[in-house]
């Protein structure tokens, strides 16, 4: 655990035992059955200092209670057109899993305009994505691997990045702060791919906004980063947003129901089931994941999409 000692964890546990009941319930929600590992995350975020880690966690729990974060997935962005506009301009999806079982998220930074709604709705959407990851994806990954999975990998695709992206610096700062204070140590590594020449200029502005521990996790890969990413997982997610455009698929938002759960993009292996019109029928979520999702929310409308035979991409929320 690095700077985190067992003595520090024991002290932290003793302090949390004294917390008020609403905070204890909120803590149960975020630790998902792994309280020790969760305490270790907050300790690591505060360099092993028990007093600072305790304050950080208590502040986080108060924020969750006051903002009703536990109910965030059941609060859809309405009306429908607004929901679709937010999702269409905030590109993020589950691309698959690493060879070690960690979820890999692909984020279309360069193509995410973040300009179709107010800051409030993008912040709400971001929190929903975090909650979906923590309540559904990570528990599912833990079940599949047979060991506790509490972190993910993120691939940041800079394809289409423009200097105008800096106009969203306020929103990016808010999101970064939310993650630093309330979702510490949830990402193992950030891989930046397809970085254009203007990336350096943008990075000089964004870098100071990030916490030092976050900056240390960032790796800029050469080109698409495919060779490096294929060492981590069977399918490299780096072409995901560019490939969607090249194949001229329907707009992503047209495939999204009007509920709060964020959409997912993931690679799939070609199915052996083919219909008479040369298409494949693809179930976007396996039964174990479906059961987990249904336990998290009762508003999930399951759908099945027909994809062209050659297509290896599928989309779901």
User: What is the DSSP code string of 139-168?
Assistant: HHHHHHHTS----EEEEEE-TT--GGGGGG
148 and 127, same domain (yes or no):
yes
Q: Are residues 58 and 172 in the same domain?
A: no
Domain hosting 205: range is: 72-316
CB atoms under 10 Å from CB of 108, counted, come to 25
- Please tell me whether residues 46 and 81 are part of one structural domain: no
Pick the last residue of a domain from 49, 67, 85. Answer: 67
State pLDDT tens for residues 83-104.
889 988 999 988 889 999 999 9
The predicted model gives 157-186 an average pLDDT of 93
Domain count, the chain: 2
What's the confidence (pLDDT) of residue 237? 58
Structure tokens at 305: 């999409």
Domain's final residue, options 67, 84, 108: 67
Are 137 and 251 in the same domain? yes
Q: Does 156 share its domain with 223?
A: yes
Q: 219 with 83, same domain?
A: yes
248-280 pLDDT, tens digit each: 333 333 323 222 333 333 332 233 344 444 433
The model carries a pTM of 0.76
Residue 73 reports pLDDT greater than 50: yes
pLDDT tens digits for 20-32? 999 999 999 999 9
- Does 1 map to a domain? no
Q: Read off φ and ψ for residue 92, nearest 5 degrees.
A: -150, 140
CB atoms within 10 A of CB 227: 11
For residue 145, name the pLDDT band (cuts at 50, 70, 90): very high
Percentage, residues of the chain above pLDDT 70 = 73
Residues 164 and 267 in one domain: yes
Angle between helices 80-88 and 119-132 in degrees, nearest 10: 70
- Both 37 and 141 in one domain: the answer is no
């Amino acid at each position: 655990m690095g700077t985190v000692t067992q003595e520090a964890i024991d002290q932290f546990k003793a302090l949390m035992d004294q917390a008020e009941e609403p905070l204890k319930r909120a803590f149960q929600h975020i630790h998902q059955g792994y309280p020790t590992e969760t305490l270790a995350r907050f300790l690591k975020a505060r360099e092993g200092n028990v007093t600072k880690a305790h304050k950080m966690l208590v502040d986080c729990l108060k924020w969750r209670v006051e903002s009703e974060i536990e109910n965030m997935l059941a609060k859809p962005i309405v009306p429908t057109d607004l929901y679709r506009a937010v999702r269409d301009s905030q590109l993020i999806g589950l691309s698959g899993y690493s060879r070690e079982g960690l979820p890999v998220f692909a984020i279309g930074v360069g193509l995410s305009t973040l300009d179709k709604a107010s800051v409030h709705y993008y912040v709400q959407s971001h929190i929903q994505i975090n909650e979906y990851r923590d309540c559904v994806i990570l528990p599912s990954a833990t079940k599949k691997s047979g060991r506790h999975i509490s972190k993910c990998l993120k691939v940041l695709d800079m394809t289409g990045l423009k200097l105008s992206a800096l106009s969203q610096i306020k929103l990016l700062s808010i999101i970064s702060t939310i993650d630093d204070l309330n979702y510490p140590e949830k990402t193992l590594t950030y891989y930046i791919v397809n970085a254009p020449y203007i990336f350096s200029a943008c990075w000089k502005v964004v870098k100071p906004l990030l916490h030092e521990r976050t900056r240390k996790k960032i790796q800029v890969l050469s080109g698409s980063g495919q060779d490096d990413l294929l060492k981590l997982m069977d399918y490299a997610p780096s072409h995901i947003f560019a490939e969607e455009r090249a194949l001229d698929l329907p707009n992503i938002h047209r495939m999204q129901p009007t509920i709060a759960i964020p959409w997912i993009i993931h690679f799939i292996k070609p199915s052996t089931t083919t219909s008479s019109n040369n298409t494949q029928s693809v179930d976007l979520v396996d039964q174990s994941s479906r059961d987990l999702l249904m336990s998290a929310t009762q508003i999930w409308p399951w759908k099945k999409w027909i994809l062209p035979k050659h297509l290896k991409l599928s989309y779901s929320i």
